[in-house]
Each structure stands twice: as C-alpha cells, then as structure tokens.
C-alpha cells in the first residue's frame, strides 16, 4: 500500500473556515508570531470546535499536546486574539468563548435553555450594525448583537412538557 501524502480531497474537520491547517504557519508569520506547535494546535482545535471556552479548547488541544497546561492555552489564545486570528466572544451569562476570526462580523444566537450557540450572518455586513441617530461626543464602533433564542430541541421538549399538565 502506498501512502498518498497531501491528497487534497480527504474531508477535514478543520477546513470549514477559510484557513487550511498548512496556512496557519503563514498566517502566524504574517501576524508577526512564531508558528509554535502550541499556537498551531490551538488554532486547529478552535477550528475543529468553534465557540469553545478555554477549558473546552484545552480538552481539544490535549489530543495533540497531552501535557499542555491551561495557563499556556490562555497565553496562546490571548496572543492569537491580539493578532486577530481568533475572535473572542463575550456572550451574556457565559465565560469567554473563541472562534477563528473570519472577519465576517457574524453574530450569535444563544438558546436560553441549553446554551447552544449558532452563527447568524450580519444583516448590515460590518460594524457598527446599528446606527443611532444621536451619538454625542462618540464615534460608534460596535453594537453588540446577540440573539436570545430557543433551539428546536428545547422548543420540542417544552412543547411536550406543556402537553402533560
């Protein structure tokens, strides 16, 4: 049997964002960061599991780097956020979560029962999404948009519970 390195068509869980794993070295270098194995592993972990907390990213990274500590993951993530390779999400009632920065200004719908998070395309395309009529003394940069939602599973459960009273 012959291995076919670089066969371009096997499905890859971390190809769904624009960056392919092999491009991360270039992306890191362009951002002025060294392409360390920790940074590469964190980028790939976030690509595989978007919207993860630091703990969830740690679990994911440990499949590549079993001995990495949570402190290292914090340090790596903050360097990637500063370099605009990773986007930090501060959703209400949730610890910080992270995803690959796609520069698409997308928003999030959060199920208020189970916390499930889905991406929602931005209606205006770029920040700020809302343009107030008056903004004395301020240049508006960002309107934080988070959709409070009920996911289909939770809606079904609640419907069933409602039917049994």
**β-strand partners of 149:** 111
Residue 22 and residue 146: Cα distance in Å, rounded? 33
The β-bridge relationship of strands 97-100 and 107-111 is: unpaired
Residue 26 vs 124, nearer CB to Zn ion: 124
CB of residue 60 vs Zn ion: minimum separation in angstroms?
16
Residue 26 vs 114, nearer CB to Zn ion: 114
Q: What residue ranges bind Zn ion (CB under 5 A)?
A: 99, 111, 113-114, 116, 119, 122, 129, 151, 154
Which positions ≥6 away from 106 have C-beta within 8 Å?
A: 119, 120, 121, 122
Q: Judge whether 81 and 87 are in contact, CB under 8 Å.
A: yes
CB of residue 126 vs Zn ion: minimum separation in angstroms?
8
Residue 37 vs 152, nearer CB to Zn ion: 152
Residue 88 and residue 61: Cα distance in Å, rounded? 17
Q: Judge whether 76 and 39 are in contact, CB under 8 Å.
A: yes
CB of residue 120 vs Zn ion: minimum separation in angstroms?
8
Residue 35 vs 150, nearer CB to Zn ion: 150
The β-bridge relationship of strands 97-100 and 86-89 is: antiparallel
The residue with its CB nearest to Zn ion is 129
Residue 79 and residue 39: Cα distance in Å, rounded? 9
Residue 77 and residue 61: Cα distance in Å, rounded? 12
CB of residue 84 vs Zn ion: minimum separation in angstroms?
15
Residue 68 vs 154, nearer CB to Zn ion: 154
CB of residue 90 vs Zn ion: minimum separation in angstroms?
12
């Amino acid at each position: 049997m012959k291995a076919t390195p670089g066969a371009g068509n096997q499905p890859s869980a971390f190809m769904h964002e624009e960056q392919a794993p092999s491009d991360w070295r270039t992306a890191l270098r362009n951002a002025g960061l060294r392409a360390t194995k920790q940074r590469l592993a964190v980028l790939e972990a976030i690509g595989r599991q978007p919207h993860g907390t630091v703990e969830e990213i740690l679990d994911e990274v440990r499949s590549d780097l079993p001995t990495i500590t949570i402190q290292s993951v914090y340090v790596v993530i903050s360097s990637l956020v500063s370099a605009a390779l990773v986007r930090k999400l501060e959703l209400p009632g949730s610890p910080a979560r992270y995803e690959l920065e796609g520069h698409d200004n997308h928003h999030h719908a959060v199920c208020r029962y189970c916390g499930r998070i889905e991406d929602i395309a931005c209606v205006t395309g770029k920040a700020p999404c809302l343009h107030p009529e008056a903004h004395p003394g301020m240049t508006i940069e960002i309107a934080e948009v988070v959709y409070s939602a009920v996911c289909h599973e939770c809606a079904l459960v609640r419907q069933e519970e409602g039917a049994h009273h």
